[in-house]
Amino acid sequence: MSKFIINYLWHNKKQEVTFLTAICIVGILFFSSLLLTFSIHGYMLEEVKEENGNYHVKLKTDLKGLKTVSFIKKIDWEEDVLITYNEISKTYQNTKKLCKEIKCENITYNEPLLSLYGVSQNENVLDVFKTIILISFILILSAGIIIISSVYNIILTSKYKDFGILKTIGFTNKNILLLLLTEGLLISFLALILSLFISALLINGALHLINHLTLNIISLKLIINFKFVILAILFIFIFILFICLVIGAKVRRKSIVNSLKPRTVLKKVKRFKNIYLRLAYFNYKRSRGHFRPVIISLSICFILIGTFSTYLDYGRQIIKHYVTLPSYDAEIVINDKSIKAKKILEDFASENDAEKSALYKTCQIPLTISKDNTLNNKEKKVNVVFIENEKNTFVNKATSIKEKDGKIVKEDTKLYKNKINVLEKEFKETTAIPYGLELLVSPDNLIVGVTNIEEVCDYSYALFIKSKNDLPLNELLKYDNLTYTDMKKASLIINNFILVFQILMGGIIVLIMLVAVSAIISTVLISFSYRKKEFGILKALGLASFNPLIIYESLILTFKAFFISLPIVCFINCVVVGALNEILDITLSFSLKPLLISLVISILLIRMLMQLLHLKIAKMPVSTLLK
């Protein structure tokens, strides 16, 4: 039996390779998403542990009367007592038990750490990420399952005649079922191991790229959670086993005669005036079972592309709304108020052909603004940034990102009255922010322009400059009392974060396209054998060209898949926006561009595949096709 199985697999190697490729690409898509999630989650855990500590709860107690408690893993002593439990999921319950035995005061939970494990009582942010990740995994897993089952089903359907022949030579249904199970599980095992290995290489490379692009500000490492990986492999194995049993049941129900009987389908179809459109529609209606994997694959492809394009759009929207990018490339400060210092900065701006620049006499002083000057009639401690200008004005604007009713919002507010007194001088409000000082607009800063800064503080010269070319900042280091901040580097890091996000989303979309392409190719190739006689008859009847027929068939398949996927993409878009709006200010948007691009690519791909096969058919004599 083992020799027969080996010969059987070798005889059907093209179909087995098609099946292995489908599973492998789906596995790469699934495992890549899984490994990327593990790696990001692991990085976030390390950052939280470093910043907040690795404890679960902090409280004040002298631990008097505490007996040996089995659920406590570790106790650390600082100003307060830091407790780590054996099971983080039972942090709240164990704390209640503990505080019944000893006196507890000022109980503080390590919420950032608890939230990353999904056990925090304040999980708004985590719930959003869990919703988005859950939607992504459900879509990816559903896509993989449907595509694998469709490809496997059509491959095995093409073998019904083989099964019929096997029955005639004495094979039982049990033997055929064993053959199917061995084939399915062997190919699945090879495909999953291969896809896991490729996914690990891809994600490891992607993480190194992310670290490089962010200039190692973040340091992501590949993390493989073998528990979840093994569960995923077992799940797919069980699914393949189920598919084999279903196909085996179909084979069992078929008699030898039915297994060997050629395909006959009678359907009523619409009558189109165009003969090619009529033939294309008739072929689609008659062969729906064989075209169904193509439609399903394309629909899932459109859904996934629409979903991850939505993630990309909202990611850009969040960054644009919440991140303030500096409008200048460098801030150069000379702690010297001589004419020489001013000339150095003026010459630097002139020599480097500054696109835009601003040179200020400036200083910063921490002050308390009296309650008579604030809108809420409360004193306010701020860092006052003085610059010299023509008028005594202050910027009455504060931009802040804060949590409000469990939601992260960006607000522009006024904090002061129309006129305020600072250092016994009166200043009028303005909303115009001096060039280069936009990053200082916050509730903790107050930007003030004075006509004569020498009366206020001991000033320095500060140049804010934007240039078309790279600035030779290192040359300035030869001057004393000079410091500079390279904001171009900061902007580069932020832009690289955006680029990393786009690369990740783009990579997932490419994998999705590969999944769909593999399913489409396998389906079209397998359906080729069914349509030889059909094209032989059309050729015998004098059909000169198959090109119009191919075009109409491509349009029917792709547009049907497109219109199936469109409402699903809209629904998922609304779910994602609803989840994000729990914590962020997001505006509902929908872009058809990615879907339309994928629609055009799909039409061209199917047309190209069919064209290649039909050119091969066109070269065959009618007698060969009608065999």
Alpha helices in 444-531 (DSSP H): 487-530
Nearest to 487 by CA among 336, 396, 356, 347: 356
CA dist 591 to 308, 506, 568, 572, Å? Answer: 12, 16, 14, 13
Tell me the C-alpha distance between 627 and 533, whole Å.
Answer: 7
Express each pLDDT in 171-211 by its tens digit: 676 777 777 777 777 878 888 888 888 888 888 887 887 77
Q: Let me know if 607 is exposed, middle or buried by CB neighbors in 10 A (0-12, 13-18, 19+).
A: middle
Going by C-beta distance under 8 Å and a sequence separation of 6 or more, which residues neighbour residue 129? Answer: none
The CA angle 260-262-267, to the nearest 5 degrees, is: 140
On whether the pTM is more than 0.75, the answer is: no
**Residue 64 DSSP symbol:** T
Q: Do 414 and 376 touch, CB atoms closer than 8 A? A: no
Average pLDDT in the 332-337 region?
85
- Res. 579: pLDDT tops 50: yes
Express each pLDDT in 239-254 by its tens digit: 777 776 776 666 665 5
Going by C-beta distance under 8 Å and a sequence separation of 6 or more, which residues neighbour residue 512? Answer: 29, 143, 300, 301, 304, 305, 308
Tell me the C-alpha distance between 426 and 507, whole Å.
Answer: 58
pLDDT in the model for residue 256:
44
**Residue 374 DSSP symbol:** B
Q: Do 425 and 392 touch, CB atoms closer than 8 A? A: yes
**Pairwise pLDDT comparison (393 vs 143), residue with the higher score:** 393
Q: What does pLDDT average to over the chain?
A: 75
Q: Do 38 and 88 touch, CB atoms closer than 8 A? A: no
- Res. 86: pLDDT tops 80: yes
Q: Do 421 and 373 touch, CB atoms closer than 8 A? A: yes
Answer left, alpha or beta for residue 378, where phi above 0 means left and psi between -120 and 50 means alpha.
beta
Nearest to 121 by CA among 159, 149, 99, 93: 93
Express each pLDDT in 403-454 by its tens digit: 666 667 788 889 999 999 888 888 999 888 899 888 888 888 999 999 988 8
Answer left, alpha or beta for residue 424, where phi above 0 means left and psi between -120 and 50 means alpha.
left
Tell me the C-alpha distance between 300 and 180, whole Å.
Answer: 27
Biggest alpha carbon distance in the chain?
Answer: 108
Residues in a beta bridge with 483: 333
- Res. 585: pLDDT tops 70: yes
- Res. 263: pLDDT tops 50: no
**Pairwise pLDDT comparison (421 vs 322), residue with the higher score:** 421
pLDDT in the model for residue 538:
66
Tokens standing for residue 626: 């009608």
pLDDT in the model for residue 150:
66
pLDDT in the model for residue 260:
40
Express each pLDDT in 340-381 by its tens digit: 888 888 888 888 778 888 999 999 999 999 988 998 888 989
